[in-house]
Amino acid sequence: MKADGLGKHAWMDVWTELSPEDGFCWTVESEGGSGLLLDKGLRSMLRREEESYNSGRIARAALTAENYDLAPAGRDLEGLVHLRARPRRRDSTLLDGTFVVTADTADLVRAGGRLAKGPSFWIPRVDVVRHYARLRGHRVLVRVETVAHVRFLGESRLVVTYDYEMVNGEELSPSSPSNSPTTRGAEAGAGAPGR
């Protein structure tokens, strides 16, 4: 995580697990950088994600017809289909932007845009790009790039990349997903290591 207005950055290696029995759990393996960004930024984000999964609110963010109106928006030079995604309600879990899918199978490749509602008075605007890839037959999130516009402080940037050991009970060997823009791990910071 990098907060331009503060001139600070932080990174964190985190192991996460999502299971029907235990819900969403996380453990910090290593971290570095600004204590303020680690606590108020990265740990706070993990706590919100844990609460969202464990309360069932995560369904409000699903890429479904209940949450989005979709309209064709053309193709890019790679032949990927762009769909204009308009959220059906103003909600800080939904994107107002574009979903990009493969032409032949409608496999989700990328979802990007602005959060339909800023998360708070202090953060009125957040731009997000989520990258997806197929890993041993499973469609998974592999990278999230976020730019939060913080009042009086400017931009705060966050990059999270994901490495999977298991998906839906299937153990996976450490490998990069096909067509993935990721590096090993999940990073939260400029050039920082992560998991």
The arithmetic mean of pLDDT across residues 30-42, rounded, is: 90
pLDDT in tens, 128-176: 999 999 988 888 999 999 999 989 888 989 999 998 888 888 887 654 4
pLDDT at 78 over 80: yes
Share of the chain above pLDDT 90, in %: 50
d(CA 51, CA 118) in angstroms, rounded, equals: 18
Average pLDDT of the residues of the chain:
85
The arithmetic mean of pLDDT across residues 15-29, rounded, is: 89
User: Residue 40 carries which DSSP code?
Assistant: I
Residue type for position 38 = L
d(CA 126, CA 173) in angstroms, rounded, equals: 34
**51-55, 76-80, 127-131 — which is least confidently predicted?**
51-55
Could you count the other beta carbons within 10 Å of the beta carbon of residue 31?
19
Asked if residues 73 and 100 have their Cβ atoms less than 8 Å apart, the reply is no
The arithmetic mean of pLDDT across residues 56-83, rounded, is: 92
